[in-house]
Amino acid sequence: MIAAREGDRAPSETTSATPLWRPGPFATSEVPEVKKVAAFGGIYSNHRALEVAIADATGRGADLLLCLGDLGAFGPHPDRTAEILRQAEIPVVRGNYDDSIARGLDDCQCGYTDPKDNHYARISYEYTLANTSPEHRAWMGSFPHELRFRLGSLEVLAVHGSPRRMNEFLWETTTPTHFLDGLVREAGADVLLGTHTGIHWSRPLGPGRWYVNAGALGRPPNDGNPEVWYAMLEEVDGELAHEFVPVSYAVEELANEMADEGLPEEFIETIRTGWWTTCLEVLPGKERGRGRH
Ligand SMILES: [Fe+2]
């Protein structure tokens, strides 16, 4: 069983005496069984939204809180996000960002080719790498590429991008249903749960079979609203019941922290307005057309 955070201890008070992360029900080779799962997509160092989401999901009765990877990028003080996740003993699936930070790679494996996107991706990555402690980097190196659990009668496979590639983008408007269904069937699962795109969406694939993209807690989904989102899933009468849950948090406080850390104005604008300003090249035409930039 995954426990919620203990008490109201602020993450900044976490010390080296904090118990090491334990992987909860995933510590054994058995497939754990849960009733209600909250899935957090990319955190992108938004420790303020993460704290609100943990309290919210716990209050809604989730018995598993799960992070789908990409702890860093974009936001301030990456160690705070790591401390919150470790203290709450939330299992994490390895994202491309975590993989790069753990291994000290040259970039985030986001695959940008546009010079402007690469410029901002490099600022994010170098800041995050320089501000992530060796202990947290080692912890990130322990993240599995996938986690599997039973949600009632449904088997769920949780990944970052796709089961075949950690940094594969599965966009709503460009991913065919038969392709998704093939991924789910090949994995021997009923539900495929992922993130990496930053925009939440879901699609039924057949009786009891679904793809759910949890979106991101780190930044809004390019919709002109500063709220961020996570996904809540449970099984009802053999079918998946799920909802996307909006998270309101202290946007201005986060924006001020970002400014104090010297992070780009463009990132702060996204946090404040809900519109993406950078790293837009990976968006398909329809998703990009919904945004302002
Ligand atoms: Fe990612």
Domain boundaries, given as residue ranges, for the chain: 28-289
Residue 194 CA to ligand 1 centre (angstroms): 10
Residue 193 CA to ligand 1 centre (angstroms): 13
Residue 237 CA to ligand 1 centre (angstroms): 33
Q: Indicate the pairing of strand 209-213 with strand 201-206.
A: antiparallel
Q: Dihedral sign, CA of 259, 263, 264, 270?
A: negative
Residue 289 CA to ligand 1 centre (angstroms): 21
Predicted confidence at residue 20, as pLDDT, reads 35
Residue 140 CA to ligand 1 centre (angstroms): 14
For the domain made up of 28-289, give the CATH fold.
Answer: Purple Acid Phosphatase; chain A, domain 2 (3.60.21)
Instruction: Report how far apart, in Å, the C-alpha atoms of 179 and of each of 187, 202, 203 are.
Output: 12, 14, 12
Predicted confidence at residue 12, as pLDDT, reads 37
Q: How far apart are CA 264 and CA 259, in angstroms?
A: 8
Residue 69 CA to ligand 1 centre (angstroms): 7
Q: What is the pLDDT of residues 231-285, one digit of tens each?
A: 999 999 999 999 999 999 999 999 999 999 999 999 999 999 999 998 788 888 8
Cβ-Cβ contacts under 8 Å for 86 (sequence gap 6 or more): 14, 18, 20, 21, 139
pTM for the whole structure? 0.89
Predicted confidence at residue 250, as pLDDT, reads 98
Query: Across the chain, what does the average pLDDT equal?
Result: 90
Residue 236 CA to ligand 1 centre (angstroms): 30
Residue range 103-115: average pLDDT? 88
Q: Dihedral sign, CA of 149, 97, 257, 118?
A: negative
CB-based contact 91:67 (threshold 8 Å): yes
Using DSSP, state whether 130 is helix, strand or coil.
Answer: helix
Instruction: Report how far apart, in Å, the C-alpha atoms of 184 and of each of 37, 78, 160 are.
Output: 19, 33, 14
Q: Indicate the pairing of strand 36-40 with strand 228-236.
A: antiparallel
pLDDT at 26 over 70: no
Predicted confidence at residue 25, as pLDDT, reads 59
pLDDT at 4 over 70: no
Predicted confidence at residue 10, as pLDDT, reads 35
Residue 17 CA to ligand 1 centre (angstroms): 31
DSSP-assigned beta bridge partners for residue 202: 212
Residue 238 CA to ligand 1 centre (angstroms): 31
Lowest-confidence pick of 78-87, 98-107, 202-211, 272-281: 272-281
Q: What is the pLDDT of residues 121-149, one digit of tens each?
A: 999 999 999 999 999 999 999 999 999 99
